[in-house]
Structure formats: structure tokens, C-alpha cells
Amino acid sequence: MDMSEYKDIFKAESEEHLQQLNESLLGLEQNPKEMEFINTMFRSAHTLKGMSATMGFGTIAELTHEMENLMDMIRKCQVAVNDSLIDILFECLDTLEALVDNVDSDEEVNISHLQATLAQAMDGTICAAESITDAAEDLAASQIEPDSSDEEMVLPEIDLSNEEKESIESAKEDGYNISSLKVVLDESCVLKSARSTLVLINISKLGQIIKCIPSETDLEDEKFDRDFTIIYSTKESDETIEEAIGKISEVKDIEITPLYICDSGEKEESSEEKKASSSAGESTSAVKRPDTVKSIQSVRVNIERLDNLMNLVGELIINKIRLNQLASDLNAKHLDESLANLDRLTNEIQTEVMESRMVPIDQIFSRFPRMVRDLAKSEGKQINLVIEGKEIELDRTVLDEIGDPLVHLLRNAVDHGIEPAEERTKAGKPEAGFVGLSASRQRNSVLIEVEDDGKGMDPEHLRDVAVKKGILSREEVDKLSDTEALNLIFYPGFSGAKVITDVSGRGVGMDAVKTKIEALGGSVKVSSVQGQGSSIKLQLPLTVAIIQSLMVKVAKETYAIPLANVVRDVGIKASEIKTIEGKEVIMLRGEVLPLLRLHDVLDSPYETEEKENLIVVVVERMGQNIGFVVDQLLGQQEVIIKTLDNKLLKNTKGFAGATILGDGSVALILDIATLI
């Protein structure tokens, strides 16, 4: 699965969590006993870990996991918050920031030193005064073998007199090597003074002893434990020195380290240089936090603010239409150029605002593989879920609403659509069932389809269930075609536990799916072939704020029919209308099309005599086409939806809202699902 297209989203959201971590850590530093800070940090780290694991950024996931462990111990009061621990967590955050910034890079970053330090913090072996840098240096120093490096070392604890320094400088000018020789005597040594004296005698033959730690007097008085150090100059090799000392009995260990001696200023400078060199050269070193402030590439805007912006754009478009109408009425051609520019600008603003509300449909689709996997496992079935079109974008408002319907459709497909493996094998199908979830862009709408290759639905069985549930009479269901019978699953009350058993679960809660989709201005179509599978298609508008509509006139009123519901418009002769059981129908393209006169549906007065030529708008409702007879077609228009959400009009059936036309008048938007 290619996740590269989501890197920008990952980076933007990760930066928010890292900012939250930084702020909470600062708060924790000021109030170490305030556990809410650590709880907030834990949640952010956990989210970041999950995001990075999903994206395949294992290093980030690994480091956040270690941080989680430490934070968990803090929450359980198993580790105390101190300056060292705060420094460690800040260092981890800096590293995480660098890792997030470089997710596009293939360069691997070694975080082993941070993991080691976090482990030390959890074990309680890191002291409060240590910084993470010190710890890293200690770790690095501990890994240096005494005889494996030719680099000179600084022993910061050596306090040299001026005379000793001059001896060293003189020896160096003469080509001597300066070394530190640490001798460790055996635990059973009872004559430590004698052994140390022998050591001094032997090495004095090979070079010049500059300093003893402890002093020679203390060595003679045995005022030392079992080890002592000698600073000396020599031209002999280490092996020669070791051989000379090794002859002495009861000497357990010899450690020779090349030594570089400098004054305090040089020492600090050298130390800093080594630190800088270590930081720059080792990928395992702590990441230095940059002092520069990164420019903000994206902002997160509350959806309510985007809704308000969309409403303002809608008002702007309405006023633009109004101005165009006035210019046309006044025949003011000199305004044409200005209005054309206004038209272009408003269209661009509308496009930008709508685009800013769009999010990839994958934000919903990505939830389903796990859900289907778990469901299939619990059912003992094998399911191949194939997802397509995840890059299609939808308005955030629409996207938020379709999650539950899709969950319902997919559960139905897995639970009741796909047969058990044995049944599929007997039917000559592969053991693993196919469930498809796809999205595609179709002009001004998005088509989402959930399909399976399961058992399909039996129309005759659905008819029986409808009669049994008292939804329709036997006479009524017998008149339904197989396609119409499939639409019985959308009737409220058709679902229920008993129905699940009787009809293999198809139709359970489908009325809720249909209601939700149609409330968004979309439509639902079902198709099924028994033994071959089923398909549910959801036609959704790109946005619920602005829709394409077919404007019609009935009596003196103008109405908007959402284009998603319109199949076609046709002109017919009044003489073509037939009557079947008291209801008007026409034959259109070989099919019987029921006719409804919008005058009657909307209770509008007839102002003229029956016309010979009639205009019919064919709309789709629950998989069935119906013809609306209207007085006049005004054409397609983009309308701004004003919802009827006040107390008086909130539950009004038949209308999805209202819009304002160019002349300032109000037109109602028909809701085909509830109109008839």
C-alpha cells in the first residue's frame, strides 16, 4: 500500500502532537507532580506511535514506544521526575521532530543511544545531575578498548604542576609519546608497596616517569587500593611496556592510554570540539534542536468556520446572480466586463473554499480493512476486501455522514452476503469471498459501491417477508418486478432479527442507510443476482452546501429538483397519457412510467386549461422512475442550500431546503424521497 501521498498529512498532524508534547513537557518541568501533563504526553505519544506505525516509519514508532514506557512508569510513580529525565524527554522530542521533518529521506537514523538512555532512566541508573549528552559520552567512552585506538585521550582528573607540564612539552618536542599507564594488582597481593616499586623501576628503564597517582610516597606507604596510574614519556611500544611490567608477579591488569595534556582553556575548547565533532559526525548522537522557527505550511481550521465561509460564498454567489439579472433587465452592456470579472472571481473563490473542505475518502475507507478482517475471522470466513478510489475527495460534512452507512453495508456483505467456505465450494466458487468497496468521481457527484460475490438476494423471498411483516399485501407485492422487490429492503420495519434469519440478513437497517444518504442529497440503488452476489450503489453530491439543480416552474412558483435525482426530461403529448387503475402512466422507452402532476403533489392551482404538449421530468426514487408533469423548465442552476432548520419547518416533508434566486425570490428545493 503506497502511503507516500499521505506524508504531508502525517507531517502536519505529527507536528501538532509534537507541539503538544513540548508544551506538556514544559508544564511538567514546572509542575513535576501534575500528572495531567504526563497523561497528555502519553496520549500524544501513543497517537504519534500509531500514525507512524501505519505509515511504516518504524524508527518514530520505536522511539515513541520507548517514551511511552518511561511515561507509563512516571504515571505509576515508579520513576521520579527530575531534571535529567526532563532533558532525556526533550532530547527524544528533538529527535522525533528531526525524524518527522525527514520522512521523505531514506537516510536511517540510529536511536540506540536514546533507547539506552531511556532504559537507564527506567532502571533508575542515571543520576539526576547527568545530562543525556554526558550519558552518551560515558557510553561512548565505555565502549573504547584501551589498546584499540591511536587517538590521544584527555584525563580531566589529572592535575599537573607547571614543572610536569614543561617536562611533557619537552618530551613531546623530543619525539616521545605521552601515555597513561594504569596498573591493577591482584586481590591477593600482600606487598603492594614492593610491587608498585618494581613497576616504577621497570618502566623507568624504558622512559621517564612524570607523575604518579597516587604519589610515590603514598605508593611506598601503601596508601592506595589495588591500582595506581603513572604518567610517563617513552619511545617504546606498548607491548614492550606491558612485557616489562608483566614480568612482575601479582600484577593483574595493565591499561595503557595515549595521553594528550593541555591547559584548562585548551581542554574546554578541545572537549567542545570533540562534542561538536561527535554531534555532527555520528548519526547516533543527540539531535541538536534548531534555533530557527519553521514556516507554517498548513493550518487546521474548525469546520464551523469553513461552514460560515461557505455560507458567505453562497451569499456572494446569490448577489452575483442578482447583479447579472439586473444588468440583463436594464440592458446595461457597459457592465458586462465588470460582471464577467466578478463572475470569474466568485467562481474561483467558491472553488477554493470548496477545495479547502475536501478530504480524501480514504480517511473513511482506511478503517474498514481491519473491521472486515475481524468480522471475517469471527464468522470463520475468508474475505478478500478490495478497495479502489480511495484518493477521491469529498466534502468533510458528507464524509462524516457516510461512515455509519458504509459500516452497515460492509457488515451485511460479510455477515450475510458471503457464504461459508463449504457452501461456496459446493457452488463452485473460491473459498475466499470477494467484497469490493470502490469510489469514483462522476461529474458533480461521487459514486460509492459496495459489492460482493455472495449468495445474492431472492426477490420472491423478499416479497414473502414484506407480506409477513404486513408492509404490503400479497396483491401489491405480486405486482412488483424483481428490481422493485429488491427495494423492499429499504422499507422501515423490514429489518429485524427474525428477518435476518429468513432473508439472510439483507435489508437489515437499510432504511437507515437510505434515509442518511438521501438526507445528504444522494441516492441508493440496489442490484442483486441470486447466487452471484449483490451491489449497493450510493450516489453522493460532492458537497451539501451547493448543489446542481434543475429549475422548474409549477403555477407561479419556482422549484429546484436536485440533479442527482433527475434521470431526464421529456416532452409528451397529452394524448399519450393512459390510465391504469386510475393512475396516469405513459410508455417511455418501452417501460411504463407512472406520472404525477406536481400541481397535485404541491397543491398548486391550475391557471390554464390542459395543454396538448406537456413537460415531464423523470426522477428516480427507490430504484423506480417517476415522471413529474411541470409547467415550465427553467434549466440547470447551481443553488445555495438554505436548510429549513427552525422549529416550524424542521420536520417538513418533501423539501430539502430553500434557495434564493437571482431576482431575490425564494425557491424551494424538492426532496424526492419524502415528497411522495
With contact defined as beta carbons under 8 Å apart, do 434 and 386 qualify?
Answer: yes
What amino acid occupies position 243? Answer: E
- Dihedrals phi, psi of 590, to nearest 5 degrees: 80, 5
Active site annotation includes 97: no
With contact defined as beta carbons under 8 Å apart, do 613 and 629 qualify?
Answer: no
Q: What is the CA radius of gyration of the chain?
A: 41
Peptide bond into 214 cis (omega under 30): yes
Distance CA 184, CA 446 (A): 80
Distance CA 499, CA 75 (A): 50
Question: Exactly one of 29, 68, 152, 557 is catalytic; which is it?
Answer: 68
- Dihedrals phi, psi of 395, to nearest 5 degrees: -60, 140
- Partnered with residue 393 across adjacent β-strands are 360
Beta-carbon contacts of 296 under 8 Å, excluding residues fewer than 6 positions away, are none
What amino acid occupies position 652? Answer: T
Distance CA 46, CA 40 (A): 10
Question: Exactly one of 91, 97, 401, 412 is catalytic; which is it?
Answer: 412
User: DSSP 3-state assignment of 511?
Assistant: helix
Q: Burial letters for 558-595: b for 16+ Cβ neighbours within 10 Å, e otherwise? A: bbbbbbbbbeebeebeeeeeeeeeeeebbebeeeebeb
Distance CA 112, CA 285 (A): 9
The set of long-range contacts for 465-469, using a CB threshold of 8 Å and a minimum separation of 24, is 465/494, 465/499, 465/502, 465/503, 465/507, 466/491, 466/494, 468/502, 469/493, 469/494, 469/496, 469/499
Q: How many CB atoms lie within 10 A of CB 36?
A: 11
The set of long-range contacts for 561-565, using a CB threshold of 8 Å and a minimum separation of 24, is 561/617, 561/619, 561/628, 561/669, 561/670, 561/672, 562/521, 562/656, 562/669, 562/670, 562/672, 563/444, 563/636, 564/445, 564/521, 564/522, 564/523, 564/539, 565/523, 565/619, 565/620, 565/621, 565/672
Question: Exactly one of 16, 29, 39, 46 is catalytic; which is it?
Answer: 46
- Partnered with residue 207 across adjacent β-strands are 234
Dig out the grid coordinates for 655 from the structure: 423539501
* 581 φ/ψ sector (left φ>0, alpha ψ -120 to 50, else beta): left
Please identify which residue in the block is written with the cell numbers 427552525. Answer: 646
Distance CA 288, CA 275 (A): 12
Q: Is 304 exposed, middle or buried (0-12, 13-18, 19+ CB in 10 A)?
A: exposed
Distance CA 409, CA 417 (A): 10
Q: Is 299 exposed, middle or buried (0-12, 13-18, 19+ CB in 10 A)?
A: exposed
The count of residues in the chain is 676
The secondary element (H helix, E strand) that includes residue 655 is strand 655-660
Active site annotation includes 68: yes
Q: Is 397 exposed, middle or buried (0-12, 13-18, 19+ CB in 10 A)?
A: middle
Distance CA 80, CA 124 (A): 9
Q: If we measure between CA atoms, which residue out of 367, 447, 365, 360 comes closest to residue 396?
A: 360
Q: If we measure between CA atoms, which residue out of 638, 626, 443, 450 comes closest to residue 526?
A: 450
Active site annotation includes 412: yes
Catalytic residues: 46, 68, 412
